[in-house]
Amino acid sequence: MLLEEFDSETKAVINPEQSVQKIEGFPAVTISCFSHTLFHEMLSLFEAEEIAGIHGANGVIPVYQVIYQGEPFAFYQSRVGEPACVGDYEEVVTMGSRCMILLGNCGVLDRNIEDCGIIIPRHAIRDEGTSYHYAPASDFIDVNDAYAGLFKDVCTEHGYHYVEGTTWTTDSFYRETPEKMKRRKEQGALCVEMECAGMQAMCSFRHTDFFTYYYAGDNLDHTSWDPRSLSNHARLDDKAKIALLAFELGLKINAQKRKQNVSEI
């Protein structure tokens, strides 16, 4: 089976450091989202400076340094779909990122999860291809082991309810058939998205930290598809407040790293 041909060799024929170079002073924590509307809404809130660009056939994705509560973070818009999302972050890691906080919309497989409700994945079903190039073959991959506790603290401090569980990562959203959805629900999936398994596998392979969470969008657990707040402009104020939780988590991660560094002296 092709997807069982995992190769642990870290050097490939083409490597990200052949495309980009390390940037002195690059922020340790990177935050990213998928929605261009949400991205620009968030960017307008900050003092921002363009510090790099991810170059490709689709054009250039600007990477910004933004200041939140006096601390710098890298911030850029991730491309939808696992190969593009993973490949872009490979280059950002080479620039100097040591931690990615990624947030986005997901479809829900449980109608009881409210619109824009927060979901923290702890396992991802690997119904895709990219993760198999970064980790040995398996049906599941553990997710968010490093910072789930810190993020739950953030949610509690800011009055947000959340659910935890399994996400279904798929490459093909037009092939989420009723039978496949039934199987994934039997495997414990609460939601479906397109990037989690590969991003976790890549970050673990590259020894960089990763945390992801979702705001619930369209409902697949219904007699017919219900888009709810899937549109970029729907409930934008609510989504922006949920996105700010990523920056609050970034503050806690930075504080935790500083404390660890002091204890090692």
CATH number at residue 75: 3.40.50.1580
In a domain, 189, yes or no: yes
Give dist(CA 43, CA 41) in Å, integer. 6
Q: How confident is the model at residue 265 (pLDDT cuts 50, 70, 90)?
A: low
On average, the pLDDT of the chain sits at 95
What angle, 0 to 180 degrees and rounded to 10, lies between the N-to-C axes of helices 236-264 and 148-157? 130
In a domain, 7, yes or no: no
Alpha-helical (H) ranges within 44-147 are: 82-95
Q: How confident is the model at residue 3 (pLDDT cuts 50, 70, 90)?
A: confident
Tokens of 63: 């990477």
Q: Residue 69 has what pLDDT?
A: 96
Give dist(CA 233, CA 247) in Å, integer. 21
Domain total of the chain: 1
The three-state secondary structure class of 117 is: coil
Report pLDDT digits (tens) over 220-260.
888 788 888 878 888 999 999 999 999 999 999 999 998 88
Provide the strand spans (E) within the chain.
29-33, 47-56, 59-68, 71-77, 99-108, 118-127, 140-142, 162-170, 189-193, 209-219
Mean pLDDT across the stretch 77-90?
97
In a domain, 4, yes or no: no
Mean pLDDT across the stretch 161-165?
97
DSSP string, 130-182: GGGGTS---SEEE--TTTHHHHHHHHHHTT--EEEEEEEEES-GGG--HHHHH
Q: Residue 233 has what pLDDT?
A: 87
Whole-angstrom CA distances from 28 to 101, 167, 214 are 11, 27, 22
In a domain, 11, yes or no: no
In a domain, 35, yes or no: yes
Q: Residue 86 has what pLDDT?
A: 98
Q: Residue 260 has what pLDDT?
A: 84
Q: Residue 263 has what pLDDT?
A: 64
Report pLDDT digits (tens) over 180-228.
999 999 999 999 999 999 999 999 999 999 999 999 988 888 878 888 8
Q: Residue 230 has what pLDDT?
A: 76
- Greater confidence (205 vs 56) lies with 205
In a domain, 205, yes or no: yes
Domain that holds residue 172: 17-264
In a domain, 34, yes or no: yes
Over 80: is that where the pLDDT of 119 sits? Answer: yes
Q: Residue 264 has what pLDDT?
A: 63
